[in-house]
Amino acid sequence: MILPRLIIGAASSGAGKTSLMVGLLEALGRRGIDVRPFKTGPDYLDPALHRAVRGLSSRNLDPRLMGKAAVRACLCRAGGGGELALIEGVMGYYDGSPASTADLARLIGSPAVLAIDASGAAESAAAVALGFLRFRRNSGIQAFIVNRVGSPVHYRMVKEAIERRTGLPVVGFLPADPALALPERHLGLVAPAENPDFLRAVAALGDAVAENIDLDALLAIARGAPDFAAPEGSAATLAAGSVSRPTRRRKKARIAVALDGAFSFYYEDNLDALRDLGAELVFFSPLADRVLPSGTSAVYIGGGYPELHGPRLAANRSMREAMRRAAAEGLPIWAECGGWMWLLDSFDGPDGTSYSGCGLLRGHARIGTRLAALGYRIGRTLAPSILGPSGTKLGGHVFHYASIEGGEAGKPALSFTRPGVDSWNEGAIDGSVFASWLHIHAAANRPVLRAFVEAARRARAASP
């Protein structure tokens, strides 16, 4: 299939990939280009920014999290029919092998444009560009964009040096302007809904890109990508986890999904897979709603920032009681990361203030000043649960600052082993409740989502 595509990489984290991506989405959207956004790696926050600009879901492309075939299938399914698949990279261009931005570019046959932070540099920026171009044969890099440029003279110096040394074009720049900055916090950029300045920043980035970057040159590079060969089988099926739709005779599971400022970390492919498995998804707000949606047969609580919304979550006693009733009635409840924190007896706010949680699971979540865990994990369940029998394999990603204290009375959910290093247990299982730090993706966890939907369907069938 013909699929114009382009990866926006960078020489390092903090070099301006996301600001550039947001500006490109805005500027191309103004021109009426049907751009489909994607994010390299397991991140949730950057796709939320893409979605806020484009008004459609941004999908993750992560070979380690999803598998190579599922990455290609997702790109085919979500990018097909658009005029451009625009993919934001992760960290530095070569960081994270075997799932780096460079690795993804090779996997999907995508040309890449490398953003270089030129602050405080001129000829030296060319050394960086040349090093990235020659570091790996067939790097995929076809052009450069320069960020944090101080003046037109500065840009001309950097552009001439890079083009002379590499033989590749510099297609534009973003100026060193504080008005173009997007605010950050401990897990990444601030979510659009929590940044009152977001729309102004998007407009400013769109203006800067439209004025200083050759969009026609970028589109020509993207359109020069080789034809894209989807993996064998249905792209939709591969991305959703090889599922089949239920027969009409079976009751449809109604899964309530927590979605608001406190809980928003979900892979869109997970939600699609749950629907494809026959679930009806209904969204609710633990911050604002007093009860679970009518007819709920299971609850799914993703990650997010419960610690930033402690007062409102604790004050919503009606919702916490509704969660306790759901657990007492045996409804399947699955919580990831921040969702686990909310289900505990209590959790910290950023200043150390303790707030009441739902009390479904024992323990207190304490927020640290350093990362408690970061990286990909593969574990196995330690007991039968709503996600499958004991020994069920779960693979995913963890990224959190919190640690759990005082939860010894509960049953650990998962066992992890790093060969030759150590092994440990974490998470919690209590009746129909399953919680852990692990964020999983549907493509690599097909039996897990199927088991969850089946548990929800059984709960629905047992209800009056």
Q: Which of 120, 125, 157, 124 is nearest to 144 (CA)?
A: 125
pLDDT reported for residue 245: 47
Check: CB of residue 119 under 8 Å from CB of residue 150: yes
Check: CB of residue 332 under 8 Å from CB of residue 300: no
Range in 110-124, 227-241, 357-371, 431-445 with the lowest mean pLDDT:
227-241
Check: CB of residue 387 under 8 Å from CB of residue 334: yes
d(CA 42, CA 377): 12
| pLDDT(188) > 70 | no
pLDDT reported for residue 53: 92
pLDDT reported for residue 193: 66
Check: CB of residue 75 under 8 Å from CB of residue 85: yes
The three state secondary structure string of 232-254 is CCCHHHHHHCCCCCCCCCCCCCE
Superfamily assignment of 5-223 in CATH? P-loop containing nucleotide triphosphate hydrolases (3.40.50.300)
pLDDT tens profile 197-229: 778 889 999 999 999 999 999 999 999 999 887
d(CA 133, CA 140): 8
pLDDT tens profile 323-354: 999 999 999 999 999 999 999 999 999 899 99
The three state secondary structure string of 32-99 is CCCEEEEEECCCCHHHHHHHHHHCCCCEEECHHHHCHHHHHHHHHHHHCCCCEEEEECCCCCCCCCCC
Tokens 């990909």: give the residue.
376
- The architecture (CATH level 2) of 241-462 comes to 3-Layer(aba) Sandwich (3.40)
| pLDDT(247) > 50 | no
Q: Packing angle between helix 17-30 and helix 215-223, nearest 10 degrees?
A: 90
| pLDDT(306) > 70 | yes
- Mean pLDDT of the region 382-403: 95
Decide which of 215 and 176 is more confident: 215
Residue 451 has a CB neighbour count (10 Å cut-off) of 20
pLDDT reported for residue 236: 43
Give percent above pLDDT 70 in the chain. Answer: 91
Confidence class for position 464, pLDDT limits 50, 70, 90: low
Q: Which of 109-118, 181-190, 248-257 has the highest mean pLDDT?
A: 109-118
- Mean pLDDT of the region 394-413: 86
Task: Record the pTM.
Answer: 0.90
pLDDT reported for residue 242: 42
Sign, CA dihedral 65-66-69-73, equals: negative
pLDDT reported for residue 93: 96
pLDDT reported for residue 249: 53
86 CB-near residues (< 8 Å, 6+ apart): 5, 6, 8, 21, 24, 25, 28, 35, 36, 37, 38, 222
pLDDT reported for residue 199: 83
Q: Which of 247, 335, 268, 324 is nearest to 291 (CA)?
A: 324
Q: Which of 241-250, 414-423, 449-458 has the highest mean pLDDT?
A: 449-458
- Mean pLDDT of the region 94-114: 94
- Mean pLDDT of the region 91-100: 91
- Residues marked as catalytic: 337
Residue 352 has a CB neighbour count (10 Å cut-off) of 8
Cα–Cα distance list, 325 to 13, 75, 296, 318, 385 (Å) = 45, 41, 12, 11, 19
Residue 365, class by beta-carbon neighbours within 10 Å (0-12 exposed, 13-18 middle, 19+ buried)?
buried
Do 241-462 and 5-223 fall under one CATH topology? Answer: yes
Q: Packing angle between helix 45-54 and helix 17-30, nearest 10 degrees?
A: 20
- Mean pLDDT of the region 12-27: 91
Based on its alpha-carbon atoms, the radius of gyration of the chain, rounded to whole angstroms, reads: 23
**What single-letter amino acid sits at 306?**
P
Q: Reduced to 3 states, what is the DSSP secondary structure of residue 318?
A: helix
| pLDDT(241) > 80 | no
pLDDT reported for residue 215: 97
Q: Which of 362, 349, 365 is nearest to 437 (CA)?
A: 365
Range in 37-51, 276-290, 396-410 with the lowest mean pLDDT:
396-410
Q: Which of 171, 177, 173, 172 is nearest to 204 (CA)?
A: 177
Name the residue ranges covered by the structural domains of the chain. 5-223, 241-462
Q: What angle do CA 104, 105, 106 make, to 5 degrees?
A: 90
353 token code pair: 């203030």
Check: CB of residue 446 under 8 Å from CB of residue 270: no
